[in-house]
Chain A
């Protein structure tokens, strides 16, 4: 195996790597010097652990322009957050609208809820994955309660018109849930300006924290009496009662949290704030534009999605004529040290929209630590495979 320094890591859409300096150190520091259970005991180390969790909550709230940090609910990952929102809000007889570009972390809970009497409309997207907000408006029925959209496709990066849909959703008195798995940290997100009521995020992709972190941010329009908890258990609060507390964040956070992970996420958020989401976006857009142009210049390469850096995240899907994605992925890894993800990317609906189901695509997911030289090396590698070498 090549040493880490020699690989070209183009799988940031799955999880970002490497992590910023300070992330591993913050996790080690927690384990070696703090280590206690937050919110349970009243001693100094328990309070020190609680401070780490609270500071991370404040950082997330600030990042998404949410005034009240107690409305940030931490969980294991974005999938858990989406399950909390969907299972917590939707009841039999309710109608929910989603797009034709969703990941299975949205589609599978929705299909499960459909079997329990929730009505589902999937608004189709164009061949490049884009969504016409007017079609969402047209799908609204009297019993619609929620619109759920991914902010950007995990397959080809297409950015959906979240703010435009937010406007429509709010005018009709519904709620908007956004799956920000691919965008939290990669694009500026302002929950108030974009009228996002629930934002599901992951800590380990463009927030550059460790795996096992993520959560759900609740805007002020979300009435927590209407959002059921997914799990019940110990919270360190109201211990005399056998019912789950009704206040935030304890209603939705039970069991000992991943403080080690949150310590790492907090350090990553410090780094993110220092670098700035806008400047990281500019860096990724420049890499993405070169990658898109370079790929399209190679005979036999088909690129999917908007093919415009301004309309997508730095995630690019393509295929090579005459080669299976799995073969391309294996050869990129073994012959060129380029690590990417091939196949269906847990998003069969999105691949149907793009016309790449069931074969899938080769996906390059760029991130903050990729360089122009790596993009050039990857383009040379793809060109060599396309020539049949």
Chain B
């Protein structure tokens, strides 16, 4: 079974920016509602393959996009 991780973000706008950046680099991801056990927030987060997490972290940090945290699912 595929193992996933999520990137929690501060707003939908950030999620959409991250989705675009990852997509441009061929890192597959999907926007999903934030899992309840990770945050009380009502927004969305970015789900990706756990194996892609470090590559994604580098892309996001290079672009200077703030995020709340990255968690395995």
Chain A positions near chain B (C-beta within 8 angstroms): 38-43, 46-47, 50-51, 53-54, 57, 69-70, 235-240, 245, 247-250
Q: Does B58 contact A (CB under 8 A)?
A: no
In order of increasing CB-CB distance, the 6 nearest A-B pairs are: A42-B33, A39-B12, A54-B16, A237-B11, A240-B40, A42-B44
| Interface size of B as a range | 10 to 19
User: Pick the contact of B12 from A50, A69, A238 — CB < 8 Å?
Assistant: A50
Chain B positions near chain A (C-beta within 8 angstroms): 10-17, 31-34, 40-44, 66
Complex Cα spacing A235 to B11, Å: 8
Instruction: Evaluate contact between A57 and B42: CB separation under 8 angstroms.
Output: no
Complex Cα spacing A384 to B44, Å: 63
Instruction: Evaluate contact between B41 and A47: CB separation under 8 angstroms.
Output: no
Instruction: Evaluate contact between B13 and A40: CB separation under 8 angstroms.
Output: no
B34 contact set on A, CB distance < 8 A: 42
User: Pick the contact of A237 from B12, B16, B17, B33 — CB < 8 Å?
Assistant: B12
Taking the closest CB of chain A, its distance from the CB of B41, in whole angstroms, is 6
Taking the closest CB of chain B, its distance from the CB of A146, in whole angstroms, is 26
A249 contact set on B, CB distance < 8 A: 11, 13
Complex Cα spacing A266 to B10, Å: 24
Complex Cα spacing A340 to B71, Å: 59
Instruction: Evaluate contact between B10 and A245: CB separation under 8 angstroms.
Output: yes
User: Pick the contact of B17 from A40, A70, A239 — CB < 8 Å?
Assistant: A70
28 contacts between A and B (CB under 8 A): A39-B12, A39-B43, A40-B42, A41-B42, A42-B31, A42-B32, A42-B33, A42-B34, A42-B43, A42-B44, A43-B33, A47-B12, A50-B13, A51-B16, A54-B17, A69-B13, A70-B13, A70-B17, A236-B11, A236-B12, A237-B10, A237-B11, A240-B40, A245-B11, A247-B10, A249-B11, A249-B13, A250-B13
Instruction: Evaluate contact between A240 and B17: CB separation under 8 angstroms.
Output: no
Taking the closest CB of chain A, its distance from the CB of B20, in whole angstroms, is 8
A240 contact set on B, CB distance < 8 A: 40-41
Among B14, B17, B43: residue with most chain A CB under 10 A: B43
Also in contact, A50 and B42, with CB within 8 A (given A42-B32, A43-B33, A247-B10): no
Complex Cα spacing A40 to B34, Å: 11
A250 contact set on B, CB distance < 8 A: 10-11, 13
Also in contact, A236 and B13, with CB within 8 A (given A41-B33, A42-B31, A42-B33): no
Among A38, A53, A237: residue with most chain B CB under 10 A: A237
Also in contact, A238 and B31, with CB within 8 A (given A245-B10, A247-B10, A249-B13): no
B16 contact set on A, CB distance < 8 A: 50-51, 54
Instruction: Evaluate contact between A47 and B11: CB separation under 8 angstroms.
Output: no
Taking the closest CB of chain A, its distance from the CB of B60, in whole angstroms, is 14
Instruction: Evaluate contact between A239 and B11: CB separation under 8 angstroms.
Output: no
Which residue of A has the minimal Cβ distance to B41? A239
Taking the closest CB of chain A, its distance from the CB of B19, in whole angstroms, is 9
Which residue of A has the minimal Cβ distance to B34? A42
Complex Cα spacing A185 to B13, Å: 24
Complex Cα spacing A240 to B33, Å: 16
Complex Cα spacing A182 to B31, Å: 38
Complex Cα spacing A57 to B33, Å: 22
Instruction: Evaluate contact between B44 and A238: CB separation under 8 angstroms.
Output: no
Instruction: Evaluate contact between B66 and A237: CB separation under 8 angstroms.
Output: no
Among A46, A47, A57, A235: residue with most chain B CB under 10 A: A47
With A42-B31, A42-B44 known, 8 other A-B pairs at CB within 8 A are A39-B13, A39-B43, A42-B32, A47-B31, A51-B16, A236-B43, A239-B42, A247-B11
Complex Cα spacing A250 to B12, Å: 9
Which residue of B has the minimal Cβ distance to A247? B10
Complex Cα spacing A334 to B13, Å: 49
Which residue of B has the minimal Cβ distance to A250? B11
Complex Cα spacing A319 to B59, Å: 60
Complex Cα spacing A247 to B13, Å: 11
Taking the closest CB of chain A, its distance from the CB of B39, in whole angstroms, is 8
B10 contact set on A, CB distance < 8 A: 237-238, 245, 247, 250
B31 contact set on A, CB distance < 8 A: 42, 47
Instruction: Evaluate contact between B17 and A69: CB separation under 8 angstroms.
Output: yes
Complex Cα spacing A245 to B12, Å: 13
Instruction: Evaluate contact between A239 and B40: CB separation under 8 angstroms.
Output: yes
